[in-house]
Structure 1
Amino acid sequence: MFKTIKNDLPASIVVFFVALPLCLGIALASGAPLFSGLIAGIVGGIVVGSLSGSKIGVSGPAAGLAAIVLAAIGTLGGYQNFLVAVVLGGVIQLLFGVLRAGIIGYYFPSSVIKGMLTGIGIIIILKQIPHFFGYDASADGNIHFFEVDSKGTFSELIGTINHIKLGSALIGLIGLGILILWDRVLTKKAKIFQLIQGPLVAVVVGIVYYYLTSSHDTLSIASSHLVSVPVPEDAASFFGQFSFPNFAAITNPDIWVVAFTIALVASLETLLCVEATDKLDPNKNVTPTNRELLAQGTGNILSGMIGGLPITQVIVRSSANIQSGGVSKMSAIIHGLFLIISVILIPRLLNMIPLSVLAAILLIVGYKLAKPSLFKKMYDLGWKQWIPFTVTVAGIVFIDLLYGIGLGLGVGIIVILIKSYQNSHFLHIEDKSNGKHKIKMTFAEEVTFFNKGAILKELDALPRDTYLELDVRKTRYLDNDIIEILEDFAFKAKEKHIDIKLVSERGVVENPSSFIEFFKLRPKSA
């Protein structure tokens, strides 16, 4: 793994600067201690990163679980009781891995996964615009677009217009300019610009700007617009930030409900992120999903034991890792080491980083996930890809991550049913001879009860005095519902003077007396 350190070290620095504000923001949105988000980030990087089979996936606290955590802390009577649910959730994830449940992620359509990536990219952009201009009343707050309070995406975007802070906006624009210049121009000029990453330069410039303008009334940045990492005074105060589960509450049935909810949601989110991350990976590595569930379960057990939030693989950090050139799992592990070193050694320096600079980094990440060209590409692929994609994006942006994925998956299933309805048979009207229409109907390889409506419609529409050739030579599965339809049609065919020629692998049968008896006698292999 150390052979790729020249790629992984710069990528880990970028992931560190992306993960730091996300760990804090998700903890704040979850109603949990800020330090709990950092614990989850550290465990997700070092422990899960070491155990996972993913080379470029990065784990940590996830926004998709924030609403569940916020509600559970209140329901279970405190954070220490909630930690019991986190530990039990990790145990259940281990069980999922042992039972080889990791295959579930492969049953989600590509259009839904791309929609998930795009929706997350749009949310990242929308949530970072207020930070970029110095208006962050709710920090990373509520992820819902429409809301009744003043802490959601829509109200923050409106509020930003009237609360732009010149200092934050200026250094945000400078940081964004540095990132674009680095990405589009400088990295192609010399290798030094590939080793020293643009986000690191933008953060350093942000710290210098804050230091130089701290006494200026107009250009200074308020402390509320800076990173806020807990600053321990000594070893005792540092270890005092850890919380431990109250296992006396393990008999509470609500804890088991929350534990199963965490395990299910975290596993599903992880598996979808694994699928999405593998699609983004330029080397097209395939992550072993059952091993990933085992790694995530171990991480959640440890995180819960020392006071951390639940962990999943996170697409924001993973995509930042890929876009920054990460090659092996060392980038995830090193980013976790950077998190723990930074909160111990340089918390005061970290607290000089303007949030607007970190917002600029995340704006670039969000744009790369939700490029306008992707919308055009999905539209060009046709409605079967476009509709599930757009429904997933809209659901994630306007409702919630899991609702969006569920809606997209539901629409994808409907599309499959529609295409199955349409593709159950082929109908060829060949000619008119001897006063009869000659029509050939060829059944598909698999014909199920989904196809009843389409086949019944075609058979009922056949005119009188028709010669129907029914070809089932390619059919390997024919549902009993379809056989019953054919049986009923054989009776009606006599009244309409329709002659039936049944063509199968066993030969040709003219006007079969019973379709049920005929298909009972067919070889099972056919």
Structure 2
Amino acid sequence: MNLNTLRRDIPAGLVVFLVALPLCLGIAQASGLPPFVGLLTGVIGGLVVTTFSPSKFAVSGPAAGLVTIVTGAMETLGTFSALLFALMIAGVLQFLLGVMRAGRFITLVPGTVIKGMLAAIGLLLIIQQIPVALGAAEGSDLGTWVTGGAFSVSIPAIVVSGVGLFILWFWSTPTVKNIKALSWMPGPLVAVLVGCLATLVGGRMFPEIISSLSRISLPAFDSLQALTGELERPDWNAWQNPAVYMVAVTLAIVASLETLLSQEALKKLRSQTPALSPDKEMRAQGIGNLLSGFLGGLPITAVIVRSSVNVSAGAQTKLSILIHGALLLICGLYFSTLLNAIPLASLAAVLLHTGYKLAAPRLFVEHFRQGTQQYVPFLATIGGILVFGMLAGIGIGLATQILFSIYKSHRGAMLLTRHEDHFVLRFQQNLTFMHNPRLKGLLAEIPENSVVIVENDNAEYIDPDVKAVLKDFGEGARKRGIVLNQWPVKLA
């Protein structure tokens, strides 16, 4: 560490903090938890995970992608305390996966399934946040609206969320990016600041109207005892509930996938030498989630949005991430009054924008253009997650991709070409009993009085069941006037 790195790490840490603050608050609020829980999670990710992580640039904290899992898990388990116990187990599982060097297996998960998982998370996030952006009463959801039930809205909330979405869109345009004075300010922070102005200024000018605008609620801490009193503790009796272990496995798998996916994406922005160990990162995330579950936080992952901001802001060392974590802690302890001016509609706008980026229409168009082998597993993953839940949806996506891969592999394993009365049968790869249906279909296309040449140089192994099919065809070939050349099996 030297003066040059300090000059670049301190501003980078400040920028990452400005991006992370509204996201931490919004993710906690979207999860149905006090906003302080989001700040606590950001502090653990920024200080603890960073200490153990091998990456200089990856920023960890609460992830919007896990909001739907958290809300669903709390419905299943009944209490946040039970979820904390499941999160601790998930942390232990992640650490053990790192010890067993399971990080390298991320390459086995198809890109279509990972993108489908992220798109499904984006859709769920949008569905969840639309009522908040409209200022619906607590407990209302889109299902109530669709079925024709009572669904009240708030005009101030609609205006604030609409302005917030416009700001987030405008901040992503070249107009803002080309203006240095504006480009350093993160769009989410600007949207939240405008929402704060609406509550502070509008509250004085139109108190009756603004009073209906829901805001976050952070407690004020005047002592260490007040701080610890706000922390939720795990329910140690939850070990008796079998559902806890299913939630823990889901959290461990999805958090690990999102972390390692973020690491892969980060490599394209800023490479590190030597290459980072995914297993060390898994262990660091496991420690973070274990501690987060113990202290009363949310699930932690490495987040590509904050990590990319850290890189683009010019970070050189881990110090920038540590600074961002310290600033989150200070903000939560000493500036709760200021943060309480943030309207929920502003945070909903930030999360709606995040959900849109995860499930952008462009993503669906790209997969449709790439053919059935890409878009069918992609849509199967999304549909499975929306209908059956995260873990089952990922399993459905994987199964669909495997079936398509097997089908394509079988279709390309053998080729039959014709030149007048000569047929060339090429074996492109090793053949197993599963290729028998395809082989029998090709052999059935060969008419009487033909010449068949087999090219099997690429097949180092031919299963005995395949040889049996070839032998049966060969023995009947003479009766049909078929001449065999280079036949792979001996005939009587």
Q: Which bracket does the TM-score occupy, shorter chain normalised? A: 0.7 to 0.9
Match of 1:164 in 2: 153
Match of 1:122 in 2: 123
Distance 1:210 1:414 in 2: 54
The letter for the 1-side match of 2:415 is F
For the residue of structure 2 that corresponds to 1:468, the secondary structure is strand
Distance 2:216 2:148 in 1: 21
The letter for the 1-side match of 2:467 is I
1:63 aligns with 2:52: no
Count of matched residue pairs: 476
Greater mean deviation of Cα atoms: 61-70 or 412-421: 61-70
> 2:474 pairs with 452, 465, 490, which one?
490
1:360 aligns with 2:344: no
> 2:301 pairs with 302, 308, 313, which one?
313
> 2:408 pairs with 398, 401, 419, which one?
419
Distance 1:230 1:15 in 2: 20
Please tell me whether the aligned partners of residues 137 and 152 of structure 2 are also in contact (alpha carbons under 8 angstroms): no
The offset of 1:469, in angstroms, is 1.0
For the residue of structure 1 that corresponds to 2:230, the secondary structure is coil
Greater mean deviation of Cα atoms: 386-395 or 96-105: 386-395
Please tell me whether the aligned partners of residues 24 and 35 of structure 1 are also in contact (alpha carbons under 8 angstroms): no
Match of 2:172 in 1: 183
Please tell me whether the aligned partners of residues 171 and 209 of structure 1 are also in contact (alpha carbons under 8 angstroms): yes
Q: Deviations over 1:375-411 (max 9, x none)?
A: 2222211111121122223333454333332222221
1:254 aligns with 2:240: yes
Please tell me whether the aligned partners of residues 426 and 455 of structure 2 are also in contact (alpha carbons under 8 angstroms): yes
Q: Deviations over 1:390-440 (max 9, x none)?
A: 2223333454333332222221111101101211111111122xxxxx211
For the residue of structure 1 that corresponds to 2:458, the secondary structure is coil
The letter for the 1-side match of 2:447 is P
Inter-CA distance 5–109: structure 2 relative to 1 (3 Å threshold): farther
Distance 1:156 1:19 in 2: 28
The offset of 1:16, in angstroms, is 2.0
Distance 1:323 1:136 in 2: 35
Distance 1:15 1:100 in 2: 30
Inter-CA distance 226–63: structure 2 relative to 1 (3 Å threshold): same
Inter-CA distance 245–261: structure 2 relative to 1 (3 Å threshold): same
Please tell me whether the aligned partners of residues 44 and 292 of structure 2 are also in contact (alpha carbons under 8 angstroms): yes
The offset of 1:472, in angstroms, is 0.7
The offset of 1:46, in angstroms, is 2.3
Q: Deviations over 1:186-219 (max 9, x none)?
A: 5334322122223222222211210122252663
Please tell me whether the aligned partners of residues 267 and 293 of structure 1 are also in contact (alpha carbons under 8 angstroms): no
Distance 2:345 2:209 in 1: 13
For the residue of structure 1 that corresponds to 2:346, the secondary structure is helix
Please tell me whether the aligned partners of residues 132 and 344 of structure 2 are also in contact (alpha carbons under 8 angstroms): yes
The letter for the 1-side match of 2:113 is V
For the residue of structure 2 that corresponds to 1:412, the secondary structure is helix
Distance 1:478 1:470 in 2: 13
The letter for the 1-side match of 2:53 is S
Inter-CA distance 161–339: structure 2 relative to 1 (3 Å threshold): farther
- Output the TM-score relative to the length of structure 1: 0.80
Match of 2:308 in 1: 322
Higher helix content, 1 or 2: 2
Distance 1:102 1:36 in 2: 28
Q: Deviations over 1:306-360 (max 9, x none)?
A: 2334x2426xx53355368466566654443343222211122211101111222
1:348 aligns with 2:353: no
Inter-CA distance 56–453: structure 2 relative to 1 (3 Å threshold): same
Please tell me whether the aligned partners of residues 41 and 292 of structure 2 are also in contact (alpha carbons under 8 angstroms): yes
> 2:486 pairs with 502, 506, 526, which one?
502
Q: Deviations over 1:265-288 (max 9, x none)?
A: 233212321354246445165763
The letter for the 2-side match of 1:472 is N
Please tell me whether the aligned partners of residues 129 and 351 of structure 2 are also in contact (alpha carbons under 8 angstroms): yes
Greater mean deviation of Cα atoms: 1-10 or 409-418: 1-10
For the residue of structure 2 that corresponds to 1:219, the secondary structure is helix
Distance 1:416 1:377 in 2: 19
For the residue of structure 2 that corresponds to 1:183, the secondary structure is coil
Inter-CA distance 110–84: structure 2 relative to 1 (3 Å threshold): closer
Please tell me whether the aligned partners of residues 119 and 370 of structure 1 are also in contact (alpha carbons under 8 angstroms): yes
For the residue of structure 2 that corresponds to 1:473, the secondary structure is coil
What does 1:280-291 align with in structure 2 at a 5 Å threshold?
280-281=265-266, 282-283=268-269, 285=271, 288-291=277-280
Structure 2 runs not aligned, ≥5 long: none
Please tell me whether the aligned partners of residues 74 and 80 of structure 2 are also in contact (alpha carbons under 8 angstroms): no
Distance 2:147 2:46 in 1: 36
For the residue of structure 2 that corresponds to 1:470, the secondary structure is strand
Structure 1 runs not aligned, ≥5 long: 139-149, 433-437, 505-510, 515-526
Q: Deviations over 1:140-199 (max 9, x none)?
A: xxxxxxxxxx54x43367789952311112222222233333331553343221222232
Match of 1:451 in 2: 435
| Percentage of identical aligned residues | 28
Distance 1:456 1:303 in 2: 58
Aligned-residue RMSD, C-alpha: 3.3
The letter for the 2-side match of 1:450 is M
Please tell me whether the aligned partners of residues 135 and 165 of structure 1 are also in contact (alpha carbons under 8 angstroms): yes
Match of 1:337 in 2: 326
What does 1:91-102 align with in structure 2 at a 5 Å threshold?
91-102=92-103
Match of 2:209 in 1: 219
Match of 1:268 in 2: 253
Inter-CA distance 371–332: structure 2 relative to 1 (3 Å threshold): farther
Greater mean deviation of Cα atoms: 323-332 or 55-64: 323-332
Inter-CA distance 277–240: structure 2 relative to 1 (3 Å threshold): same
Inter-CA distance 167–416: structure 2 relative to 1 (3 Å threshold): same
For the residue of structure 2 that corresponds to 1:376, the secondary structure is helix
The letter for the 2-side match of 1:134 is G
The letter for the 2-side match of 1:98 is V
The offset of 1:67, in angstroms, is 5.4
Match of 1:24 in 2: 29
The letter for the 2-side match of 1:23 is A
1:400 aligns with 2:389: yes
